[in-house]
Structure 1
Amino acid sequence: MNRLPEPPGRQPHATQAGQPTTNTAAQAFLADLESAFTTTNTAKTTPTAYRDDTLPATYTTGPTAPVPQPGRPPMSQRAVDLNTTILCTGIASLPIGGMTSLVVYTLGQVDPAALAIAAAAPATIALPILALARFLRRARQVVEAAPPVIHQHYTGTVHQDTRTVNSTNRGLWASNRNQLPAGD
């Protein structure tokens, strides 16, 4: 620690009246600050980064065959969507199958002829409904395919011109005038 030499002729003396006096605690604090700034930092420096240059296992090649991974195999998005739909539909069919089993179990004591009539009832109701829906769909297609009916009402003398004008344009700058021939 380098200290400047005291100027000659100055002696320490008591503080003048009205000036604050320094206490020992303040002097100790100032001494600690001075020693903190003057001493070198001897703490160990911890590294802030590390680079591992070894290749990961995915980059290694060799004669070993690939190992199948657990889970669903890789597939296209359409296949995943279709697979999910199939799984959800299969799970949704469980309540329907359970209700059907319950109905069949409770109807086990019923006469087979009555059971056949009850089983055929939905088909006899569904067939006319499906036929009516098909008839209405075809009727709508016929109406949509028909040309629209246009009613034009005129008053006075009407002249309808049905002449056709054919023109051919050739050259770099061509001009269309589409004028009807005079005299017709």
Structure 2
Amino acid sequence: MDFHPTDGRPMSDSEAAAEAKRIIEENFRPEPPVRHFPTSFRDHSPVPAYGDAPPVCQDDRRIVPAWAAGIAVASLGVGAGVTGIGCGAWLVLQGLASVTLTGVLMVTLPFAGLAMAAAAIGGAISRARSAVTKNIYEGPVTHTTEINNHSTTRGMFFARTRNDIHS
């Protein structure tokens, strides 16, 4: 039998059930989760008069999506690559800006090498294609040494000459 908490008399069944329900709800009631969103941090510790301030633990719990981290890393890589290409172009253009005989020779040297290699390959191909042929002519051969030459010139300022050679 339960006793009343205020006056010590015995409780009825309905009073005991109501008191039990109140105690259970009070002690076992699920509380809504408390969401903590710190928007700033203020350190109230005193600042020393001189020297470095002591370190203060500042937890960083930002959540970055994987795609955002990937884009950030890729953009850093692209930026570094473009910077390298730009530096290389700058160096080449600086070298071309100071035109000296040595600079011109250094710039044209690869082109001269390519031209020389192309000429050597072309010569080798033409020699390989030209086969040794023996021409054998059969039949009478006539040799005419008489040439009938007829030349005509017309015009005063813009003259035109026509040569007709008949053998």
What TM-score results when the alignment is normalised by the length of structure 1?
A: 0.22
- If each structure's strand is expressed as a fraction of its own residues, which one has the higher value? 2
TM-score by length of 2: 0.23
